[in-house]
């Protein structure tokens, strides 16, 4: 193919191989703090066989919402009040509300209701709807990892195998117990803010002091969990066992400030702030679409206040599918966005180049390729694509880093 005329310069592009090498180096043993932020897209990487077809072990939030809505539509006692709540959220301009949007609206009304009614809702009807939705969500996401080599297991093995001066911290918006299962199956000690065995209690002082050994991972579930409960005495406990009358704590964004001071949700998200202000830290996001403005604000403030902090935001699809993430990466030079079709690096947005490298490093071949289905990217077939926005691919990336144990590998592959 003839070269373009000198008057037609080549379009500037980013090198995905350079980014993959940078990521490997950031993950190497050392004094740098490492954090992972796992969003709702991560459980989709665990597929199960259902009679010849595969489905995610846990559906994404739209799938969860669909199942919850179907359940409520078939409940004669809750159908009417549920539809009214859905209509109210839609009327606020949220055309396709998720179960989290509806829960937030229900709880806001409940906090204003008092002993009377508000907008046709009684406190009792709102409470019953809240509890029914939470219990249905708990049933949907109460799944067991089917095999022991999922990306969750690989991440757990990675945490255990590489010694560090600082603990690895995992932040997640997911309510499920997949991370806990994998950490325990791989025998990785971890602290999640609770202390105890039979009915663990929230220990805010231990969270603030954070003086456990570095080999203990930290797990911060910033949207709650299906094993967190509010007792009749307004105390928080963690247990797999439900007790009649207790409230499940998932997505407790509705709480007032005086309540929030004792709530896991705010204590957990504050750990993200503490992490990002620590010197020499890197946060790697996977499965997170940057759709939560509250979390985005914490990430943005942390990156702005600490030039030694870095964030690698790995997106499953193209940049056009994640406008909020792109906007943040354009504002903060230490937020590197890595999407299927291109990246935003040092606030500069460009496509990936088309120079496919034949590297001897298998980890780089897992991170970068050209073969992605059309439904995932609109990038040209010959153009390189970033593959690690898929949690399954990221698991393979970590596994190869572990298998080689050559942590300083691949610098020449970036050029």
pLDDT confidence of residue 6: 55
Q: Is residue 173 within 8 Å of 295, Cβ to Cβ?
A: yes
Residue-wise pLDDT tens digits, 38-47: 999 999 999 9
pLDDT confidence of residue 261: 46
Q: Measure Cα distances from 149 to 27, 44, 396 in Å.
A: 20, 15, 10
pLDDT confidence of residue 142: 96
Determine phi and psi for 128, rounding to 5 degrees: -65, -40
Distance CA 173, CA 161 (A): 25
Q: Is residue 255 within 8 Å of 263, Cβ to Cβ?
A: yes
Nearest to 248 by CA among 351, 141, 348, 339: 141
Residue 80 tokens read as 């009417």
Distance CA 161, CA 36 (A): 16
- Low-confidence stretches of the chain (pLDDT beneath 70): 1-9, 114-116, 252-263, 405-415
Beta carbons within 8 Å of 255's beta carbon, 6+ residues apart: 263, 265, 266
As beta bridge partners, residue 282 has: 34, 310
Residue 41 tokens read as 């897209």
Q: Record the pTM.
A: 0.91
pLDDT confidence of residue 358: 80
Residue-wise pLDDT tens digits, 341-383: 999 999 999 999 999 888 778 899 999 999 999 999 999 999 9
């Amino acid at each position: 193919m003839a070269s373009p005329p000198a008057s037609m310069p080549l379009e500037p592009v980013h090198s995905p191989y350079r980014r993959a090498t940078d990521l490997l180096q950031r993950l190497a043993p050392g004094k740098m703090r490492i954090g992972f932020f796992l969003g709702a897209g991560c459980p989709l990487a665990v597929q199960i066989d259902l009679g010849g077809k595969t489905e995610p072990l846990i559906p994404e939030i739209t799938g969860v919402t669909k199942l919850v809505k179907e359940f409520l539509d078939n409940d004669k006692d809750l159908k009417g009040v549920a539809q009214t709540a859905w209509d109210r959220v839609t009327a606020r301009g949220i055309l396709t509300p998720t179960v989290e949007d509806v829960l937030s609206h229900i709880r806001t009304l409940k906090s204003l209701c008092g002993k009377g009614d508000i907008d046709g809702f009684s406190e009792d009807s709102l409470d019953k709807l809240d509890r029914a939705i939470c219990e249905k969500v708990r049933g949907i996401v109460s799944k067991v990892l089917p095999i022991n080599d999922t990306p969750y297991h690989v991440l757990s093995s990675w945490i255990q195998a590489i010694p560090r001066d600082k603990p690895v911290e995992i932040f997640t918006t997911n309510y499920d117990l997949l991370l806990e299962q994998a950490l325990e199956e791989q025998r990785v000690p971890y602290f999640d803010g609770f202390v105890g065995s039979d009915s663990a209690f929230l220990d805010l002082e231990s969270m603030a002091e954070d003086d456990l050994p570095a080999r203990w991972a930290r797990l911060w579930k910033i949207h709650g969990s299906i094993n967190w409960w509010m007792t009749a005495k307004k105390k928080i406990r963690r247990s797999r066992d439900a007790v009649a009358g207790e409230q499940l704590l998932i997505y407790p964004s509705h709480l007032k400030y005086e309540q929030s001071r004792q709530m896991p949700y705010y204590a957990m998200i504050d750990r993200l702030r503490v992490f990002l202000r620590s010197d020499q830290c890197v946060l790697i996001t996977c499965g997170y679409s940057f759709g939560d403005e509250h979390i985005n604000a914490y990430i943005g403030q942390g990156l702005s206040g600490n030039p030694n902090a870095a964030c690698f935001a790995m997106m499953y699809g193209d940049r056009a599918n994640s406008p909020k993430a792109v906007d943040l990466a354009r504002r903060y030079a230490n937020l590197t966005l890595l999407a299927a079709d291109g990246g935003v690096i040092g606030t500069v947005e460009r496509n990936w180049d088309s120079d496919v490298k034949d590297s001897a490093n298998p980890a780089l071949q897992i991170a970068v390729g050209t073969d992605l289905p059309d439904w995932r990217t609109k990038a040209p077939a010959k153009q390189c694509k970033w593959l690690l926005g898929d949690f399954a691919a990221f698991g393979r990336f970590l596994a190869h880093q572990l298998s080689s144990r050559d942590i300083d590998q691949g610098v020449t592959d970036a050029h």
